[in-house]
């Protein structure tokens, strides 16, 4: 099997993590790191003596790496990914894929033209717990799905360039799309910029799907507790996925309410089941999927198309937020 060489653009939070995981993929290695910050580059060079480093991103793009990982601020994703594709590189872009729909569409189209892999870092699609949830949804075990409640809150980390929707909601939107295989048809947003002007730090999104299912997503940078939870409410079973509880990540509740004539509603209270999940690091699986897609030509799970769908939802949410700010579509409470 031919060895794959990868280059990493951006050595912030995600760059080193992805590099470490790519290194553990067999017949794959990271051969070059680029970052605009010369201090970061110097640090890489001192810690990993054999590693080629540069502050010139073009140098990395012009090198012989097979694949490029783009772990930079969102606003730069489009330009960097475009250049990399044009140079014939396979590309893995951190989420969200781009800052708007047009850019994402262009990248997807370009990747198809040049015949290269375009992938987005939707790590949660590779989580064994999310895949356990997906199996439950897809098998029909949960019955008809009424609604989903997703929560992803914690203190910080504030970003200057994007709001909390673009920062945190890509996770939940990509999970929803992956679980249900459909995109929402409408979205409503309630968000606030409490700390910095114009940078919304708390948001509630309501998504509507064509089959009547609804989803609520609560994302926040201003919360004392770390909560990462997705609850799926079906008419046969209800499931809670709690990413912060390793020993009990997925809990299946055999309970529910059934519609009758008299009394109108009756309740089922059955057992709770916590399946054993063979845990594997999602980021590791993501990196393996990237290498595999390059080798086989098969599209990766978190393909550019998936990344585009997520950006469509985020962009609609942003539009809803902008409109509601202008239109003031709220109901006054009389004093």
In DSSP terms, 233 is beta-bridged to 147, 238
* Calculated CA dihedral for residues 32, 38, 41, 47, nearest 10 degrees: 150
Give yes or no for residue 261 binding its own copies (CB under 8 A): no
Give yes or no for residue 36 binding its own copies (CB under 8 A): no
The tokens of 14 are what?
């995600």
Please give the size of the binding site for its own copies, defined by CB under 8 A.
Answer: 76
Stretches 65-73, 110-118, 221-229, 291-299: which one binds its own copies (CB under 8 A)?
Answer: 221-229
Residues 2, 39, 261, 267: which binds its own copies (CB under 8 A)?
Answer: 267
CA 273 centroid distance within chain: 27
Report yes or no: 127 and 103 within 8 Å, Cβ to Cβ: no
Cα separation of 92 and 9, whole Å?
10
Report yes or no: 150 and 218 within 8 Å, Cβ to Cβ: yes
Give yes or no for residue 240 binding its own copies (CB under 8 A): yes
Length of the chain: 335
Residues of this chain, 40-59, that bind its own copies according to CB under 8 A: 49-50
Give yes or no for residue 274 binding its own copies (CB under 8 A): yes
* Cβ-proximal residues to 142 (8 Å cutoff; 6+ apart), any chain: 136, 232, 234, 236, 237, 238, 239
Residues 255, 284, 295, 299: which binds its own copies (CB under 8 A)?
Answer: 255
The residue (of 61 and 176) whose beta carbon lies closer to its own copies is: 176
Residues of this chain, 58-97, that bind its own copies according to CB under 8 A: none
The residue (of 55 and 158) whose beta carbon lies closer to its own copies is: 158
Residues of this chain, 6-25, that bind its own copies according to CB under 8 A: none
Distances (CA, A) of 169 to 38, 77, 134, 136, 139: 32, 17, 19, 23, 26
Report yes or no: 134 and 203 within 8 Å, Cβ to Cβ: no
CA 214 centroid distance within chain: 19
Residues 270, 280, 298, 325: which binds its own copies (CB under 8 A)?
Answer: 270
Stretches 6-14, 57-65, 76-84, 232-240: which one binds its own copies (CB under 8 A)?
Answer: 232-240
Stretches 4-12, 37-45, 86-94, 152-160: which one binds its own copies (CB under 8 A)?
Answer: 152-160
Report yes or no: 151 and 229 within 8 Å, Cβ to Cβ: yes
Residues of this chain, 281-320, that bind its own copies according to CB under 8 A: 312-313, 316-317, 319-320
Residues 104, 117, 136, 187: which binds its own copies (CB under 8 A)?
Answer: 187
Residues 87, 216, 284, 295: which binds its own copies (CB under 8 A)?
Answer: 216
Cβ count within 10 A of residue 27: 10
Nearest distance in Å: CB 119, its own copies: 22
């Amino acid at each position: 099997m031919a060895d794959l060489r990868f280059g990493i653009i951006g050595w912030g939070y995600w760059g080193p993590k992805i590099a470490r995981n790519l290194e553990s993929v067999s017949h794959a290695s990271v051969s070059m790191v680029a970052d605009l910050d010369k201090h970061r580059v110097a640090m890489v060079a001192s810690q990993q003596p054999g590693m080629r480093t540069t502050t010139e991103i073009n140098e990395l793009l012009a090198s012989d790496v097979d694949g490029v990982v783009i772990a930079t601020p969102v606003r730069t994703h489009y330009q960097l990914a475009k250049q990399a594709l044009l140079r014939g590189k396979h590309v893995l872009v951190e989420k969200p894929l781009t800052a708007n729909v047009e850019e994402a569409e262009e990248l997807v189209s370009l990747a198809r033209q040049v015949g290269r892999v375009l992938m987005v870092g939707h790590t949660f699609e590779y989580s064994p717990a999310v895949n356990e949830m997906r199996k439950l949804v897809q098998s029909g075990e949960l019955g008809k799905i009424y609604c989903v409640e997703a929560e992803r809150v914690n203190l910080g980390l504030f970003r200057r360039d994007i709001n909390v929707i673009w920062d945190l909601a890509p996770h939940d939107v990509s999970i929803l799309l992956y679980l249900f295989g459909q995109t929402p048809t409408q979205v409503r947003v309630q968000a606030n910029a409490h700390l910095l002007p114009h940078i919304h730090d708390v948001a509630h999104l309501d998504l509507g799907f064509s089959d009547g299912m609804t989803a609520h997503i609560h994302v926040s940078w201003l919360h004392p507790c770390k909560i990462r939870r997705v609850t799926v409410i079906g008419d046969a079973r209800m499931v809670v996925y709690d990413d912060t509880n390793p020993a009990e990540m997925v809990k299946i509740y055999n309970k529910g309410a059934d519609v009758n004539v008299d009394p109108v509603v009756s309740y089922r209270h059955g057992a709770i089941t916590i399946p054993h999940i063979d845990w594997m690091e999602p980021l590791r699986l993501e990196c393996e999927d990237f290498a595999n897609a390059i080798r086989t030509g098969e599209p990766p799970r978190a393909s550019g198309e998936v990344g585009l769908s997520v950006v469509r939802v985020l962009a609609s949410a942003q539009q809803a937020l902008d409109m509601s700010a202008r239109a003031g579509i709220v109901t006054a409470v009389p004093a």
